[in-house]
Amino acid sequence: MQVFTCLKRLKGSMEIDPTFEIPLLEEDPPCNNLPRSMLQNTGKPNGRKRAQTTGLSLPKYTAVMQRPLLIAKLAAIVNLEGSLSRKLIVWDNALKIEKDQISFVHLLSGDHLQQKRPEDRLNQFHLEAAETCLKYLTGARKAHAPFNATTKSGCAAEYKGLVGAQPFIEYAATFWPVHVRHAGPRSLPKLWPHIVQTLNDASCRELSFQVYQFCNHEEYIPEQSFLHILANYGLTAATEKALSLDTQATIQLDLNARDSKSRTPLWWAVKNQRVEMVKLLLAAQNVDFNAQDDEGMSPVMVAVAKGFTDVTKLFLEPEFSSRVSWALRDHQEFTCLYWAATSGFDDLVSLLLTQNEVVQTINGSGHSPLVTAARKGHAQIVKDLLFHGASPNATDTCDGRAALSWAAGNGHEDVVDNLLYGEEVDLAHADRKLKWTAFQWAAERENGAIARKILGVTSEKAGSGGCDPISALFLEVAKRGQGQALEILLEQFNSKADCRDGDTSGRTALSYAAERGHVNVVEKLLCSHSVGVNSGDVKGKTALMWAADQGRSGVVEVLLAWKELDVRAVDSDGRCAHDWASASNHVGIRRLIERLDQECSGI
């Protein structure tokens, strides 16, 4: 049975046997269900010669299709004029129809067919398939206008209607570039008129690209130019043809055309990692290497952010690098170097640091590459940045946290090692939001080994005179109630627990913890046996007085249970803890103190 007869049957009724196989032509010799030839048969059962045709046989077509061929789609394209319109011939019972799909009886038949055919023959098959797709898109545009929506959901009913009326349009819009590429450069002269007819018409170009995007569940970005489409698909040979002087007069060509998101053809070529296309566009005169999209991303930024080393290397070539603004920032104030550092692309950071312009901006304003690398634990990148002069005290723009603080808090010990032993690192730096140092971040995030390492280096670098950094840390963690940090301090520097504030107050760590109600810190300090429970500040105000004054009943109970406590101690104004509680109207605390005082008096 010839395929036309089969198609009539299929088009006329959907009630067909789902396992129906296209039968073997009577004159065809059996060949174990593998296609022995793609040449069309000229024999007929009655011995008469069948006329030679130039049509693409169905096995050929099935072999080069990029997805299973549905009967409805085949029925749609056989009505076209041209290479597929005459006759489709099934050879050797190689094909079957099952669940409305045409496929080879044997799954490996398509591979066998492609392996046995000379490359130029396969190129011809793809050329014919590409022609079919492009003609179909051109024809579809005559009946359907582009959609107003940018997403498939925004025009669901209209889109369903289009696909219903034009069953082959999704395949044609998605795979015509694939067939053009497989057809090879030598097929371009034949395909070029079809490409121009499809892409040079704005409405046809827009509709076909919309279908491609919607079919792949992607957002459609309007205002794609002729060159945008070629760059998007990586059709290098076609782009070379478009850039040649003899074709520029016949097509709408703008090397720096912007789509609705301000993206240029070069931007799209980079985004899709079309290396040869990028190389071609970079070599073209008047291409803007630094054109930024609506997010401020230039083509080279896109290459770096996505980790495309091969594409980035093209921009770094001597003939192109001078035309790149390496210090350019996007709308987030990120540079190329920042993108490479934050993404952890060691090789790209090394490549970028070969550019003097990049090195000169390493400590510039805005987001620091060193900080983001430290935050994410990219040790080699941190090392490279420091080697090229990055400041170890660089901070982020949000909270003012330093690189060491981020690395310590996030547990990146190898990064901490790179930063910690620099001569200029500021170990006392605290962020703007929480006012924590790197030591505090490490301790409170339970990164004890890092906290101890920072503490050891802090002690080694401590100067003489005034309140040393270890004492300052004791006071600070007591104020903030940081029990884990205090444990590490007591573990290594127990003797300094009773240090006093270097300002005019003369207050102790115990005094601060008691005032702020940090019961756990008060208990740890008392259990260290290194603090004086009755120590007063410059005005003689003790920890108990501070707790009574501020109404910290939990702290008062802990202090009252300490046997060395002098409940009757007075400050320089002659006031005791009971007086402070009464003055602040903390009745419960006053009664606790009275009860202990009575017990001490034996009443």
pLDDT digits (tens, 9 = 90+) for 537-593: 999 999 999 999 999 999 999 999 999 999 999 999 999 999 999 999 999 999 999
Three-class secondary structure of residue 344 per DSSP: coil
Pairing of strands 95-98, 69-70: unpaired
Give mean pLDDT, residues 200-208.
93
pLDDT (tens digit per residue) in 124-134: 888 988 998 99
pLDDT range class, residue 157, cuts 50, 70, 90:
very high
CB 440 within 8 A of CB 482: yes
pLDDT reading at 457 higher than 70:
yes
Bridge partners (DSSP) of residue 97 are: 102
Residue 467: its pLDDT value, please? Answer: 56
pLDDT reading at 261 higher than 90:
yes
Give mean pLDDT, residues 270-295.
97
Ramachandran region, residue 24 (left: φ > 0; alpha: ψ -120 to 50; beta: rest): beta
Name the residue among 159, 173, 250, 237 with its Cα closest to residue 204: 173
pLDDT reading at 402 higher than 90:
yes
Residue 216: its pLDDT value, please? Answer: 84
Residue 124: its pLDDT value, please? Answer: 86
Which pTM value belongs to this model? 0.80
Q: Where are the domains of the chain?
A: 1-117, 340-461, 485-601
Residue 219: its pLDDT value, please? Answer: 84
Lowest mean pLDDT among 66-80, 257-271, 374-388, 499-513: 66-80
Residue 99: its pLDDT value, please? Answer: 53
pLDDT range class, residue 65, cuts 50, 70, 90:
low
Question: Which two structure tokens, joined as six digits, stand for 563?
Answer: 């046997």
Residue 423: its pLDDT value, please? Answer: 73
Question: Which two structure tokens, joined as six digits, stand for 127?
Answer: 């050329």
CB 259 within 8 A of CB 247: no
% residues pLDDT > 90 (the chain): 67
Give residue 572's Cα distance to chain centre.
63
- Cβ neighbours for 547, distance < 8 A, ≥ 6 positions apart: 514, 515, 517, 555, 556, 559, 577, 589
Lowest mean pLDDT among 57-71, 242-256, 371-385, 404-418: 57-71
Lowest mean pLDDT among 12-26, 130-144, 568-582: 12-26
pLDDT reading at 15 higher than 80:
no
What one-letter code names the amino acid at 101?
Q
b/e map 491-502, b = 16+ CB within 10 Å: eebeebbbbbbe
Lowest mean pLDDT among 8-17, 69-78, 225-234, 423-432: 8-17
pLDDT range class, residue 217, cuts 50, 70, 90:
confident
Give residue 365's Cα distance to chain centre.
24
Residue 75: its pLDDT value, please? Answer: 57
Give mean pLDDT, residues 21-32.
32
Residue 158: its pLDDT value, please? Answer: 93
Instruction: Give the C-alpha separation, 80 to 135, whole Å.
Output: 8
Residue 490: its pLDDT value, please? Answer: 97
Residue 458: its pLDDT value, please? Answer: 92
**Are domains 340-461 and 485-601 of this chain identical in fold?**
yes
% residues pLDDT > 70 (the chain): 78
Residue 141: its pLDDT value, please? Answer: 87
Fold of 340-461: 1.25.40
The arrangement of strands across the sheet holding 101-104 comes to 69-70, 101-104, 95-98
Backbone φ and ψ for 422, nearest 5 degrees, come out as -75, 140
The average confidence (pLDDT) of the chain is 83
Look up residue 395 and give its DSSP letter: B
pLDDT range class, residue 603, cuts 50, 70, 90:
low
Residue 43: its pLDDT value, please? Answer: 36
The torsion defined by the Cα of 447, 448, 454 and 457, in degrees rounded to 10, comes to -150
The torsion defined by the Cα of 252, 258, 261 and 263, in degrees rounded to 10, comes to 110
Residue 453: its pLDDT value, please? Answer: 97
Residue 503: its pLDDT value, please? Answer: 82
What would the CATH number be for the domain defined by 485-601? 1.25.40.20
Lowest mean pLDDT among 263-272, 394-403, 496-505: 496-505
pLDDT reading at 460 higher than 70:
yes
Three-class secondary structure of residue 500 per DSSP: strand
